[in-house]
Amino acid sequence: MKLKIAIAALFAATATLSLPAFADHKAREASRDVISLADGGTLYIFQDGKMAKANQFGRAVYLKNGEVLPTTDGKRVQASSNEIAKLTTLLMEDYPGD
């Protein structure tokens, strides 16, 4: 009996730890391109060419028009728009119970 409880607890802990890996699944599906930024954030470029930025914690943040964002591979991307509402909506779709 104790073994079954231990296995169930281990399974629950493992499942909880794996959730953040898919936290931006809907946003990635809706994006044409996803770029990792040097500060740990992510830049989403949607099908219509508009952009949105998430910080290193996966939260949508304000993106200034014309802001230059350094990528992890040393390149620089200039922001052309700020789709914070669209990204926030997509990120919230991954958490339907909230």
pLDDT in tens, 33-69: 999 999 999 999 999 999 999 999 989 999 999 999 9
* 2 falls within a domain: no
* 10 falls within a domain: no
Residue 84 is predicted with a pLDDT of 93
Residue 19 is predicted with a pLDDT of 46
Q: 70 vs 5, which has greater pLDDT?
A: 70
Buried b (16+ CB within 10 A) or exposed e, 57-90: eeebeebeeeeebeeeeeeebebeebbbebbbeb
CATH number of residue 44's parent domain: 2.40.10.300
Looking at the structure of the chain, the number of domains it has is 1
Structure-token pair, residue 57? 């914690």
Percent of the chain's residues with pLDDT above 70? 80
Please give the span between the terminal C-alpha atoms of the chain, in angstroms, as a whole number: 34
